[in-house]
Structure 1
């Protein structure tokens, strides 16, 4: 099945926006990609339910490349808290595998979407209100960060996003400065993506009805087009993030979270 130049151009534009968001806000752009990829993959004759799964998996696969580009840009500025990343990463691996190899195919999407929308809306409201955490609040100990990492990896695996929608509010709630939280979230996007993509590939091996050039649930043409363009704009997003004042960056992030929550709520109610 041939892929038109128009389709490739559309995927390239999606990649440019994805990279910009990854660098600016420490997210992988997955929630932006999933609805568009669902539509595009559906045009290839793929059943609606399978198209959603492939969109989530392919979106996550692009984050492997976007996160590396964004992480390098933030690391050059010394903004990544590698101590936090190292403590969250083991939980992320376990949570991601539990989602991509297990619950990804078991949970009803409508219920998950509504719960997710409520959670994201609450996080965005707290950030938009500028609610300051208690001055004494710090990141939890090793066990607490292991559990937090598990939750981040699990939720990311179910919705095909890089985890910034959870990890950034979590870190700022624990008094990590917003710029460091965004940078560290960008670094966490890589292990989140790798472990979940591994699960999607293994889980999708026996799936029927996949389009040509699919590796498990991952659709390789979209992965290539989006990834190639996203790595170009991720450094630009990271540069802009360090130039914006903290309050403005929080408003941008909260506005994006509200938009994502509205989409997920609509999707859940429509599917229910």
Structure 2
């Protein structure tokens, strides 16, 4: 029995990195996946997420989406329901960053990071809950929300003020939605990745940053996108029904050290 058989899942930021890994894992476990991103081409190169799912015999559609815009999020969830009949899982993963500290951060940079990382999650949660409230519960759950936060929502993100603040907001929003909508049978959790190696450019993958992360992480390797996808699968499945409002660390023991 596949863990997400016949479930309908929306994944934002699905073209690359963590979103790509989550979408592929969900499709492999039987979900009908709606891929949302501003672009289909993966940062890592190679075939698109949609193409990979179709090649493996999975079911998916793709929708161009700017998560910072209500009209786009509304259209995204509407497309999912019109195509597949309901919404079982909403994964709010899309994010951006500036790699700037307080005095370096320009107002426009701050506004863009907050618009994508925090407002985007707010809009995704709101539209998902609106839809889920109209649905019958299945195994005591109307729907599940999985937000992608970060360990930098719990400790400072060195040299990246907007990113750290936005991820801290995601952690609190997850708790708020979980508590406010528990009696509606809506589950809301977050996954907090530690150092995960993806194809994204920037100082996070500079040699000295990677060396520090290797020394700081107790587990003898750094994280892979599929590590995060496994946690996101667990929280999207019936295995986690009585778990809501948590921020699940996937960090190789970083925060325990």
Where is the helix percentage greater, Structure 1 or Structure 2? 1
Per the TM superposition, whether the score is higher than 0.5 is no
Compute the TM-score of the two structures, normalised by the length of structure 2. Answer: 0.28
Higher relative contact order (CA 8 A, sep 6+): 1
